[in-house]
Chains A and B, each alone.
Chain A
Amino acid sequence: MEAINSRFPKAKRKGNGGEQWRAALFLSPSWLLLLLFFFVPAVLTFYFAFTNMALTGAAAANTQFVGFQNFVNMFQDATFRISVGNTILFLIFSAVIGQQVMGFLIAFLMNGRNRVFRSVVGSIVISGWVAPEVVCAFVWFAFLNDTGTANAFIQSIGFEPIAWLYTFPMVSVIIANVWHGTAFSMMVFQAALGDVPKEVEEAAMIDGASAWQRLIRITIPMISGSVVTNMVLVTLQTLGSFTLIYALTGGGPGNATETLPIYMYHQAFVNYQLGYGTAISLVLLLIGIVASLLYMKLLKVKL
């Protein structure tokens, strides 16, 4: 055994030359792909954001370094300010409050119910999450349309139809995003609630704690780790959210649902201001970096 162990030492050992080479060989496809298509563009963001690169006009032929001009413009740009406000609204109401509260509510109410009932409700909620985002947008485009189901319902109880996507555009995209994203939070909270030992709640019940007290004093504190992790994950997902809003309202009417990703797209691909578009994506990237670092810190990963 000694001899074998010295010839075939355990995994966690000091790497010899051959191993280092083999490791490099095995890692090289991943490295190459990540470097070329992920890190190079990410680093380029830091360069392009300081240029006046454009797809048309003089700046297209002759791209110049313009320093902080894009960022100066950004702060004077009313539409940029509106899109920051919209992004914050969208984040808070669709992700932080909507998906999390709805996800927790469903997971909490489901806990301990009939198995069949649970799986039916779960499947319905998950169906909106599994469906591709464009399909979700189409479904909500139909539901909120002037002649859609929502209006058919409110007319049937005697109200005038509402042009949802024009009258309440932000509310519409928020509801659509809650519908699409809630399943993720629900599943995270289901897993977390499943890990809460029954004994603790039973003990509290015997001590005379009301259902509300048990929820606030015991259940929520015991899953607080999952709540925070989920919050960061959902925030990151929602920050980058483009498809649902773009396909549903295109950022409009006017710029009522123009969030940062949509504004970035409009500047880069509709107004052809690639440099300015990149400056906006740099802002997005920086927010993403902060959230991502926070996420890593919360996970307390063991490597």
Chain B
Amino acid sequence: MNRFMVGRVLPYIILSFIALLFLLPMLWLVLASFDGAATLTLKIPEEVTLSNYTSTLASSDNQRSFGNGLLLALGQALLVVAAAGLASYPLSRYQLRYKRPFMYVILFATGLPITAVMVPVYQFFLYMQIQDSLFFTILFLAASALPYSIWMMKNFMDSVPLELEEAAWVDGASIWTTLRLVVAPLMLPGIFTVGIFAFAGSWGNFLVPFILLQSPQKLPAAVTIYQYFGQNGIVQYGKLAAFSIIYTIPAVALYVFGQRFMSQGFSFGGANKG
């Protein structure tokens, strides 16, 4: 094989090897979930079965933990979309004296690790006697997602042309009507993107509910998985794998769905070559 051929083929070999290394751990999860006698070792199930899935879904404890996760993620995402959507309008359209400092504070908060405020947040919840409440956990999750969401939403709003709004005003529409009938439909991709990001963020979040919630009947799926494999000695790996897959599916689905809307989502890295 000559130099040229090596140069063509080598990247494929290296990439295939890397992909295999990335694939193996995940492959175990998928295969084990269909294996009635799953062990911790990667193997093809002798008998492919759906029983892990059916028994996981049939358990009322599991249903409740998925329900809690859904409640947290959906409640938070709706709140974030509403609050960030409203906030983005004046930030995009009006000249406000406090706009620059506000946007700087928002961007600054985007970078702060949530982990660093969890202990004081817990103390604050303790002091206000609002710990172990799904409702206040949703409010905190929403607040922690807001900086990033406002930032994204404002950028989307900036790209909605002003002319259509002005035309609606000329026709006598009020600000509120214009927002609802002209701006909101044009903002749909932005609203979806922000909503998806927010939902995925709290659906996958372990730390926040782990710290702020204590009652077993309020815990979301993220914390339940941990309790299954982290502490209890005996584990039915097949069932836990099925639980993990069911818990992962919404995140994957949202990612695939969200990709259509966030074509520019990752260009921020490239947008700043200067």
Contacts and interface: CB of A to CB of B under 8 A. Distances in A.
Interface string A35-60: 01110111011001000010000000
Contact of A135 (B15, B24, B113, B248): B248
A222 interface: yes
Contacts of B109: 34, 38
Contact of B225 (A12, A120, A135): A135
Given A134-B225, A139-B29, A225 B207 contact: no
B259 to A, nearest CB: 10
A134 B222 contact: yes
Contacts of A274: 119, 122-123
A8 interface: yes
B22 A124 contact: yes
B26 A29 contact: no
A301 B274 CA distance: 11
Given A33-B146, A264-B119, A149 B25 contact: yes
Given A4-B170, A130-B255, A131-B248, A117 B12 contact: yes
Contact of B26 (A128, A237, A277): A128
A29 B143 CA distance: 10
A79 interface: no
B237 interface: yes
Contacts of B140: 37
Given A37-B121, A38-B109, A296-B107, A240 B40 contact: no
Given A29-B86, A288-B112, A34 B15 contact: no
A226 B18 contact: no
A44 B41 contact: no
Contacts of A113: 11-12, 15
Contacts of B11: 109-110, 113
Contacts, number: 303
A238 to B, nearest CB: 9
A125 B17 CA distance: 12
Interface of B: 7, 11-12, 14-16, 18-19, 22-26, 28-29, 32, 39-42, 79, 82-84, 86-87, 89-91, 93-96, 99-100, 102-104, 107-124, 139-140, 142-144, 146-147, 150, 162, 166, 169-170, 175, 203-204, 206-207, 211, 222-223, 225-226, 229-230, 237, 240, 244, 247-248, 251-252, 255, 266-270, 272-274
Interface of A: 4, 8, 10-15, 19-20, 22-23, 26-27, 29-30, 33-34, 36-38, 40-42, 44-45, 48, 53, 102, 105-106, 109-110, 113-114, 117, 120-121, 124-128, 130-135, 137-143, 145, 147-149, 151-152, 179, 182, 187-192, 194-195, 211, 222-223, 225-226, 229-230, 236-237, 239-243, 247, 250, 261, 264-265, 268-269, 274, 277-278, 280-281, 284-285, 288-289, 291-293, 295-296, 298-301, 303
Given A105-B18, A192-B269, A295-B111, 7 more contacts: A11-B94, A26-B86, A38-B144, A124-B23, A124-B26, A132-B248, A225-B272
